[in-house]
Chains A and B, each alone.
Chain A
């Protein structure tokens, strides 16, 4: 039975196009349909071979020779396999995904909404209870809905800013690193912006242009690309003069194609790391700005933490809930970012 299956495979193998190699193997294709086993695939058939056949010549197939050494590989499959191996990162990403989905459904679980005020004096600063799961604020609003609403705002802001920063930083960094003529220009631009503390720009813009989250997001992107760009530029130097880039020049490949096909893929692990770290970074930054009173949004995790600073000694729930959520987000992105960036690095794929 087993032998039969092997034979069926034989025919399939033979139907593959026979490639002509540069050396004359007149012996090879003389009788291509001969039903004699050859190659690794027919070990089963060979083991059952009578002894006198053992010392006959096996059929020589150049294809089989070409195939030795071949391994089955797919980049993203290996990335996934490596990532899955990191258990803490997997657990934290599941926790985060649940948390993310929960921000959308949490408010509908409560009978209150963000705008509802309990108009009696007894309802301010209520501790968590079965009616108000996270207690209430000093204005008598339900803290559960406010916390989840704020989480959503913060995540949206962080996502937007992080993605914006990374895209701007990567594109600028690639051009900065690869185009020699522009190196000077970007270096001076970098120094110009980087030498003045960002907080001064932020304060000026908050005072002169406005304090809405939108304006802050744009400002954070406008100053946040620097680090990524410099990092990317330094990495581009490692790959810029490799022979495959010279080959692309010989083939007349345009600059943008070289940047995104030849260099960008090598930087994925670093960019992923920066992206995942930029999200908690932005949340932390937003918290700082809110703390300093530079953001006039009604609710975000940063604002909740700022509001809690006066009352958390007496009403710890005001601090604990947003703080726990900020921590979960930060830790998740840190672990996942590191795990994913390691997984993206092909040196870690065997």
Chain B
């Protein structure tokens, strides 16, 4: 789309540029402590970082790594109970670490500005968009009234908001998520800051919108010559934007280097693990090399290297002493004992090499069994003409319309779409949380939607289970793991005696890779990945045949996603499970699923075998979605061509669209004219 990212980046030139400069901002041995009801949490444990003018630095790390807290120190926005207890942040000859609230007024917003993660909460819902930007303009640029308004309209236009005069008067609820994030960016850049900190600016947005926002920030950076810090956990975003990458773990910067160095020649075992756990680098049908366990508890004093207990390459010294920073190249530094001359030599994991071939299809196991190709395939679940509506009368909203698909026994069927597309609604309609308005759902040929008999109800509950998206919300915080896991057993009294019940709980916990001693604990003691596995154990204990997995990994950290994906694949093999896998991320879906259905605004637009869909996407929406998928290879990601889907290309006024099988097992939604076009594309 935009010209800026069509040309490949020359990282070496950027590295020379960095080396020739003195840092614009330099944080040294920063330590930040929070006090929480008498307990001390050291969120940043001596992190150091140099920022150079005009560059884009990405800080990567999982939740709790301190990446957000670290950068909040640069704008003086630490929460009230936190304070900088050590180190310095030098900027223009001043130490920001010593600043008082009054000093910050000179810097915050004017020199260093911030864009936060959630566009839903960072705007004031009671003030019009224009007024909110104008406030910032009047405060920092010293212009008032008409002049300020003209400036606001100029800024709105600059961040790509159509009809800025009309939009000026509108309120945040009249804007979509992506538009709102544009407004937040507009406020941040309104006073032309030197440094812009973007804290997960696109995490809450859909992939197609994400790509547009990243483009926008890149363009603004060029126009205003800003230095940008991105905080993100998404390696695809990093590949897209970063000149340099800093990896954080346990409150420290453990590896920092040019993007090509960190992606293609990482040196820290944590970076190795992080990259090789990417589903994009996985071979279908094989296990992903997951990182076990959970991030460290920063309430405890950490001795040695914080990553040691999860590190398969940990040395004895990692448990005793914290490693120093080792220099790999002039721009690449690593904090790991493995770089010590006395340490054994270790090859980087194989998976990382696959990064350079990423534009090719994922590897597949040729002997893998594909249930949908089996001539005796058995339809486990059938959805016929499904319609789900919410509300009634004038407020009626059709969430899902005219949806048809079949899921065969033993396959993983993925349903992909953006937020609000109705994918979760379909999943919930299948497990009968959402009542359906039209159509029917058949399980093994028997109708399970609408009114059904009591025995049928019990049977459906036992054979259809669901895994939820948010591991934080899907477990009852006030019940012990033991109760949570055995809830289904208790409801149908599926155990002989108390001993038998405990036995079953322990088996279920072991099966999902948790320690049996966890059963007497409460959910909040666990990390997201562990909680998600508890949720899986809860559904498994019912011995289901079919599981609806509603975005089971989208709320998890990168390092933990692989654990859950492996587990789902393993269970499928062992128990012959069938999944409906709901997701918004096509790259994950490609790794895990046999067939993929793409849903847009409550309508399935295309359905095909996974590799077929990636190789020959037909519907323009599928094409747009595929073009926006983030790719963790910086060279590929930077030159990708974004396609934008415009629903007005369909002219359905006369020629009505139909759901049609254009090729064996490849379905697409379109009218006769479009179908002819698609057939021509496939060479049929």
Residues of A within 8 A of B (CB): 17, 19-25, 27, 37, 39-40, 42-43, 46-47, 49, 53-58, 60-71, 73, 75, 242-244, 246-254, 257, 261-262, 265-266, 346, 348, 350
Contact = CB atoms under 8 A, between A and B. Distances in A.
B510 A66 contact: no
Contacts of A261: 476, 479, 483
Given A21-B513, A66-B292, A253-B487, A244 B309 contact: no
B340 interface: yes
Nearest to B506: A17
A20 B509 CA distance: 11
A68 B315 contact: no
A246 B315 CA distance: 45
Contacts of B461: 250-252
Contacts of A20: 510, 513
A22 B303 contact: no
A252 B464 CA distance: 11
Nearest to B466: A250
A47 to B, nearest CB: 6
A243 B474 contact: yes
A66 B340 contact: no
Nearest to A247: B474
A66 B563 contact: no
Contacts of B240: none
Interface of B: 36-39, 287, 289-297, 299, 303, 308-320, 337, 340, 342-344, 428, 431, 433, 457-458, 461, 464-466, 468-470, 473-479, 483, 487-488, 490-492, 510, 513-516, 521-522, 524-527, 530, 535, 538-539, 542, 563, 566-567, 570
Contacts of A70: 297, 525
B316 A68 contact: no
B527 A69 contact: yes
A56 B319 contact: no
A244 B344 CA distance: 48
26 contacts: A21-B292, A22-B513, A22-B566, A23-B290, A54-B317, A58-B316, A58-B319, A60-B312, A65-B291, A65-B294, A66-B292, A68-B297, A69-B527, A71-B525, A73-B524, A73-B525, A75-B522, A246-B433, A246-B466, A250-B461, A251-B461, A251-B539, A253-B491, A262-B476, A262-B479, A266-B478
Which of A19, A75, A253 has the most chain B CB atoms inside 10 A of its CB?
Answer: A19
Contact of B515 (A25, A66, A251, A257): A66
Query: Which of A24, A56, A75, A251 counts the most B-chain CB atoms under 10 A from its CB?
Result: A251
A19 B519 CA distance: 14
Contacts, number: 191
Contacts of A46: 316, 319-320
B295 A68 contact: yes
Contact of B309 (A21, A39, A242, A248): A39
Q: Which of A46, A55, A56, A250 is packed against the most chain B CB atoms within 10 Å?
A: A250
Q: Among B37, B294, B458, B487, find the residue whose CB has the most chain A CB atoms closer than 10 A.
A: B487
A55 B343 contact: yes
A57 B313 contact: yes
Contacts of A60: 311-312, 314
B309 A252 contact: no
A250 B515 CA distance: 25
Contacts of B516: 17, 19
- Which of B289, B314, B428 is the most central at the interface, judged by chain A CB atoms within 10 Å of its CB? B314
A94 B303 CA distance: 44
Nearest to A249: B433
A25 B310 CA distance: 12
A53 B465 contact: no
Contacts of B39: 350
Contact of A250 (B294, B303, B433): B433
Contacts of A246: 428, 433, 466, 468, 474
Given A55-B315, A247-B475, 16 more contacts: A19-B510, A21-B292, A23-B287, A23-B292, A40-B319, A54-B315, A54-B342, A57-B313, A57-B316, A64-B309, A67-B293, A69-B293, A73-B524, A73-B525, A251-B461, A252-B458
